Amino acid sequence: MSAAETINDNCKREIQVEIPAEVVARQGEVLVQKYQKLARLPGFRRGHVPATIIRQRFGEDLKSELVEALVPEYFRRETEKQGMIPVSQPRVTDLHVKEGEPLRFTASFEVMPEIGVSGYKEIRADKPDITVSDEEVDQALKDIREQYASYAPVEGRALEDGDFAQVSLDGTPKLVPADRKTTGGSAVNPKPVHMDEVMVEIGGTSTMPEFSDNLRGASPGEERTFDVIYPEDFSDQRLAGKTFTYNVRIQAVKQKNVPELNDELAKQAGEFSTVEELKNRIRERLEADKRHTAMHEAKDKLIEELVRRNEFEVPEALVERQIDTRLDRGLRALAAQGMRADDIKKMDFARLRAGQRERALQEVKASLLLEKVSDLEHIEVSDEELDREVAAIASQAKQTPDSIRARLTREGALDRIRTRLRNEKTLDFLYHQSA
């Protein structure tokens, strides 16, 4: 086998490979013999078709199988010989296959670039103040009181501001033409809505104005029909930018009674003996939440700075794979929220891929740089750490660790999990050394 390399930049390679004629001939004979055993042709007993007939009748099939048998194998041999690790499938061109001659082809592919990482020991993470104010504790206590609120029926009058309407409702989306896409590519026509025993606060800050305006003055037993137009930035993406027609049946008028903040409520909220114990626990929880959030924000900034300090070219194949991963994650989330498969198929995937590209590029760069730092700092993931992660995945999936490990091994995902854990350990190292 002979080969020549014609491109040598950071990521792209192009090699010409020549496979000796005797190797090609030998493989050709193997394939002819295989066809002789299997071919059924009129006038010949199975297994006794002459080789010349096989070559005439199945010439193109033999050529295709010859290429499939030899090209991947000799491409792999040549890249290993030259110390290359392809990260993309080769694009094969200039394929020359002729009986009695060497098989020649050109393979274009991408390899991992040389990555140098510097300045990571000088990166410093922000350490924001995580003090919890008395106002934040008071708000948490107010939320607990709201959680234990009760609703008492009001007799003999219609709904007023401050009341709660207990209702059942049916919401029907107003249909829009199929060619009118919503911002962000969400479903064109969402599903109808049905809910029973919903509590609607008349005039409440979190109540859509259309509900308050149309239910105010209604009495139990009445029905009201009206439209609600949801803003484009509405928190529930299934409703954002949509218009629904609601038929609402008023079942009861109720007033909310919020309990006093006392030791009895503290016991209800978590078996605390006193309000003071409850306050202390709330403060500890809020501090832990702030510390967790601050750490994640600091790590994000560390990654951004690491990428900024170390520019390098990234193989396109790795970026495309990361885009696939991000899209798959996003589509799974939409499906879990109730989006139908038919609506998902209508989405503009070219636009979605383009929108994911920059973020995917930064994630690939970050991962490669973290792997480089891991090598420099000799950071590894032990088998015990990997076992714990597999056990956690199994627990979440309600399966045995052995079955999860077998599936992950079949899918080639176990090494990816080990790499992710190693990157997380490396990021922890960067965070703690930056203090």
Which segments of the chain belong to CATH 1.10.3120.10?
284-433
0.85 cut: is pTM over it? no
Q: What is the pLDDT of residue 184?
A: 44
Which segments of the chain belong to CATH 3.30.70.1050?
2-110
CATH superfamily of 2-110: Trigger factor ribosome-binding domain (3.30.70.1050)
Give tens-digit pLDDT for 266-309: 999 988 999 999 999 999 999 999 999 999 999 999 999 999 99
Cα 314 from Cα 12, distance rounded (Å): 10
Q: Among all chains, which residue has been given the structure tokens 């885009």?
A: 323
Q: What is the pLDDT of residue 185?
A: 43
Contact 103, 24 (CB under 8 A): yes
CATH architecture observed for domain 150-257: Roll (3.10)
The burial class, CB within 10 Å (0-12 / 13-18 / 19+), for 318 is buried
β-strand partners of 195: 169
Which segments of the chain belong to CATH 3.10.50.40?
150-257
Q: What is the pLDDT along the chain (435 residues), one digit of tens a residue?
A: 555 555 556 799 999 999 999 999 999 999 988 888 877 788 777 777 788 888 888 889 999 999 999 999 999 999 999 999 999 999 999 999 998 999 999 999 999 988 989 999 999 987 778 899 999 999 999 999 999 999 999 999 999 999 999 999 999 998 765 554 444 444 456 788 899 999 999 999 999 999 999 999 999 999 999 999 999 988 887 788 899 999 999 999 999 999 999 999 999 998 899 999 999 999 999 999 999 999 999 999 999 999 999 999 999 999 999 999 999 999 988 888 888 888 888 899 999 999 999 999 999 999 999 999 999 999 999 999 999 999 999 999 999 999 999 999 998 899 999 999 999 999 999 999 886
Q: What is the pLDDT of residue 258?
A: 94
Q: What is the pLDDT of residue 175?
A: 74
Q: Which residues contact 12 (CB under 8 A, 6 or more apart)?
A: 108, 109, 110, 111
Q: What is the pLDDT of residue 336?
A: 86
β-strand partners of 286: none
- Cα angle 283, 286, 292; round to 5: 140
Contact 216, 202 (CB under 8 A): yes
Q: Classify domain 284-433 at the CATH topology level.
A: Trigger factor, domain 2 (1.10.3120)
Contact 418, 106 (CB under 8 A): no
Give tens-digit pLDDT for 237-255: 778 889 999 999 999 999 9
